[in-house]
Amino acid sequence: MARMKFLCDADRCIECNACVTACKNEHEVPWGINRRRVVTINDGKPGERSVSMACMHCTDAPCAAVCPVNCFYTTADGVVLHSKDLCIGCGYCFYACPFGAPQYPRVGNFGSRGKMDKCTYCAGGPEADNTAVEYEKYGSNRLADGKLPLCAEMCSTKSLLAGDGEIIAQIYKERVVKRGYGSGAWGWKTAYKETIAS
């Protein structure tokens, strides 16, 4: 069974934000919600580095562990999804997430949170696959059609890789060997408790 993961090759990311735009467009993500974002470290200085980050779909997801109403579930592919019907908007998953993936619309009183929204690995939610209801709540379900997440498909430098963890780790290792350098798979130790030696 495939175990889906994300890998952002920090040596190739050029901060073009194509992944961000692709995700926002594909799922019609409302204004203010940022499922995917690009963070630039040492911006403007020599040694500037950019990394694209969204939900990493962790092993032992801390968001799922902390949720007071157990609205998360992990699919057979290792994709971490949640139910917006059960979510109460308490915000704890954001405190627990090492990657800042959960996003909340500010719809309540006192600036309080609405239902949590996050990257779904383009795999929709608990509703039936590719229905209008599912699209409205969670965005498009590409995985059900056998396609990979759009952010990785649209990456202009192929720095963002998505797919079965073994396969993308292999691709990354080959790259590192061919070009002679690689800063490792950012976030893999925290999310999957494994590293890719570089």
| b/e map 2-39, b = 16+ CB within 10 Å | eebbbbbbbbbbebbebbbebbbebbebeeebbbbbbe
Q: Which of 3, 59, 74, 89 binds other proteins (CB under 8 A)?
A: 89
Q: Is 87 in the site for other proteins (CB under 8 A)?
A: yes
Q: Is 98 in the site for other proteins (CB under 8 A)?
A: yes
Each residue 60-79 as x (binds other proteins by CB under 8 A) or -, in order, gives --x--xxxxxxx--------
Q: Which of 136, 170, 174, 179 binds other proteins (CB under 8 A)?
A: 179
The residue type found at 23 is C
Name the residue with tokens 């059900």: 144
Q: Is 90 in the site for other proteins (CB under 8 A)?
A: yes
Compute CA distances 177 → 41, 154, 173, 184, 197, whole Å: 25, 24, 6, 12, 11
The residue ranges that bind other proteins (CB under 8 A) are: 10-11, 17, 32, 34, 37-43, 46-51, 53, 62, 65-71, 85-92, 94-100, 109-113, 179-181, 183-184, 186-187, 189-190
